[in-house]
């Protein structure tokens, strides 16, 4: 099996990692093998990445190690990095090329200097399965993760250290959102509870209030652009809008969908809500009155799991179990271009910060990146990464933040890689 492939930065070479423990480099123009097979790993090579200048290759393996290689000679550079105690499934290069992140089944993410190979900081470690994640919107320096035991952790992404642990839930955390000013955090669980707390580390994330919305799952939460309201989507088919200051229900429950409500997003001006549902539809709502705007968008033929607003607020992307990505105008609700066809059911979608690309994750764990049709109508996947777990994300707060499981981390990292023109595929 081919476990990983990665184009060189100049696009002239393709490196690959294989189950047979080898690394190979091919000429993109004619497909000729120009380097390798390179031997060194003692088990399958799960991930391969080029340095930004193309002079080196970084590889990860099921033999628990990471290795550096000269991309011209195929000779190893230094000793293997062996801090991980189990399979290393994936490595990712930082946008400036100076750091490497590695993810392992030992439950840790570790960081390394690409010049020295020295470890950077302490590894990130989570004791339980991650169920939800969110990044701080203002600067991206902090990440929150929620687990199956109802524990929220705050991570400093500069030092790679957990800097706070918060309770407040007695059930699985299903979604997390942060206000745009990073001052508030909202989390929902599978017993219908929403907790809003202050993002104040000195006061240990003091809970402002907890809202019991019922006994069913909260599937999606999203702060309004001005941070004064919180919208939520639920298994009970309803939309609810709460006052962030006091937790009062100020709109809803809004009826209209006929099945589970997987995703809720605000328009950029806060005047409308967009929702996606298990009933195969997308709907637009007046956020003051709760009245439906226009008819449901029903082009999808199966569950719509996720919607994402473009950075300029004029377009909406939708991901469905019918294996398509569709695009819509947020003013008219009209479809834009032809749908992008995926191989499997798509569970999550997000726009890149520039709006030029979208990333989606499917039910087999494949994350793909596409150019949006108004930039490029070729309908070709420009990059992908294969996870070993399903992309089960249901909810997101805006075009930059995916809230759930590993998908958030992978989409964020992969979009960063895309911005540096390093296009790779790896097994995670």
In Å, what is the CA distance from 82 to each residue of 41, 140, 243, 289, 426? 12, 29, 50, 59, 20
DSSP class of 252: E
Mean per-residue pLDDT, 266-288:
96
Under CATH, which number does the domain 213-427 receive?
2.130.10.10
Q: For the segment 204-263, what is each residue's pLDDT rounded down to a tens digit?
A: 677 788 888 876 788 888 999 999 999 999 999 999 999 998 889 999 899 999 999 999
139 by Cβ neighbours in 10 Å (0-12 / 13-18 / 19+) ranks as exposed
Q: Residue 211 has what pLDDT?
A: 86
Asked if the domains at 1-125 and 213-427 fall in one CATH topology, the answer is yes
Q: For the segment 318-329, what is each residue's pLDDT rounded down to a tens digit?
A: 999 999 999 999
| End-to-end Cα spacing for the chain | 15
d(CA 40, CA 48): 13
Q: Give 343 or 378, the one with higher predicted confidence.
A: 343
Residue 150 binned pLDDT confidence (cut-offs 50, 70, 90): low
Residue 148 binned pLDDT confidence (cut-offs 50, 70, 90): low
Residue 139 binned pLDDT confidence (cut-offs 50, 70, 90): low
Inter-residue contact 300 to 326 (CB < 8 Å): yes
Q: Residue 415 has what pLDDT?
A: 40
Structural domain boundaries in the chain: 1-125, 213-427
Is residue 406's pLDDT more than 50? no
The chain-wide mean pLDDT, for the chain, equals 79
User: Kind and range of the H or E element at 360?
Assistant: strand 357-362
Residue 374 binned pLDDT confidence (cut-offs 50, 70, 90): confident
| Chosen CATH of 1-125 out of 3.40.50.720, 1.10.3720.10, 2.130.10.10, 2.40.30.10 | 2.130.10.10
Residue ranges with strand state E in 167-303: 173-178, 184-189, 193-198, 207-212, 218-223, 229-234, 239-243, 249-254, 261-266, 272-277, 282-286, 292-297
Q: Give 156 or 319, the one with higher predicted confidence.
A: 319
d(CA 311, CA 314): 8
The percentage of residues in the chain with a pLDDT greater than 90, rounded to a whole number, is 38
Residue 11 binned pLDDT confidence (cut-offs 50, 70, 90): confident
């Amino acid at each position: 099996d081919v476990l990983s492939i990665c184009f060189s930065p100049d696009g002239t070479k393709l490196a690959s990692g294989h189950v047979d423990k080898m690394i190979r480099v091919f000429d993109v123009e004619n497909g000729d093998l120009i380097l390798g097979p390179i031997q060194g790993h003692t088990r399958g090579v799960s991930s391969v990445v080029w340095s930004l200048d193309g002079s080196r290759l970084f590889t990860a393996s099921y033999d628990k190690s990471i290795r550096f290689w000269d991309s011209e000679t195929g000779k190893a550079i230094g000793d293997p990095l062996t801090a991980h105690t189990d399979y290393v499934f994936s490595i990712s290069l930082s946008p400036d090329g100076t750091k490497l992140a590695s993810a392992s089944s030992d439950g840790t993410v570790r960081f390394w200097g690409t010049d020295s190979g020295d470890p950077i900081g302490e590894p990130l470690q989570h004791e339980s399965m991650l169920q939800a994640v969110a990044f701080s919107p203002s600067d991206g320096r902090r990440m929150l993760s929620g687990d199956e035991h109802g524990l929220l952790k705050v991570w400093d992404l500069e030092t790679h250290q957990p800097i706070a642990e918060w309770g407040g839930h007695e059930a699985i955390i299903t979604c997390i959102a942060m206000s745009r000013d990073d001052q508030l955090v909202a989390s929902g669980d599978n017993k219908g509870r929403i907790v809003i707390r202050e993002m104040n580390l000195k006061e240990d994330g003091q809970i402002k209030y907890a809202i019991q919305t019922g006994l069913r799952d909260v599937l999606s939460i999203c702060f309004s652009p001005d941070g004064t309201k919180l919208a939520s989507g639920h298994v009970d088919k309803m939309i609810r809008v709460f006052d962030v200051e006091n937790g009062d229900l100020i709109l809803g429950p809004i009826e209209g969908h006929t099945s589970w409500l997987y995703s809720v997003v605000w328009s950029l001006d806060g005047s409308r809500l967009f929702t996606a549902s298990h009933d195969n539809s997308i709907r637009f709502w007046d956020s003051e009155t709760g009245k439906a705007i226009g008819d449901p968008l029903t082009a999808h033929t199966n569950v719509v799991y996720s919607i994402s607003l473009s950075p300029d607020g004029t377009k909406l992307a939708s991901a469905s179990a019918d294996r398509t990505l569709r695009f819509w105008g947020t003013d008219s609700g009209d479809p834009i271009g032809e749908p992008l066809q995926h191989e499997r059911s798509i569970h999550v979608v997000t726009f890149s910060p520039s709006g030029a690309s979208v990333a989606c994750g499917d039910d087999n764990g494949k994350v793909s990146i596409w150019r949006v049709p108004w930039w490029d109508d070729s309908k070709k996947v420009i990059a992908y990464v294969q996870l070993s777990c399903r992309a089960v994300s249901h909810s997101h707060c805006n075009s930059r933040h995916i809230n759930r499981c590993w998908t958030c981390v992978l989409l964020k990292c992969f979009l960063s890689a895309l911005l540096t023109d390093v296009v790779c595929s790896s097994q995670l």
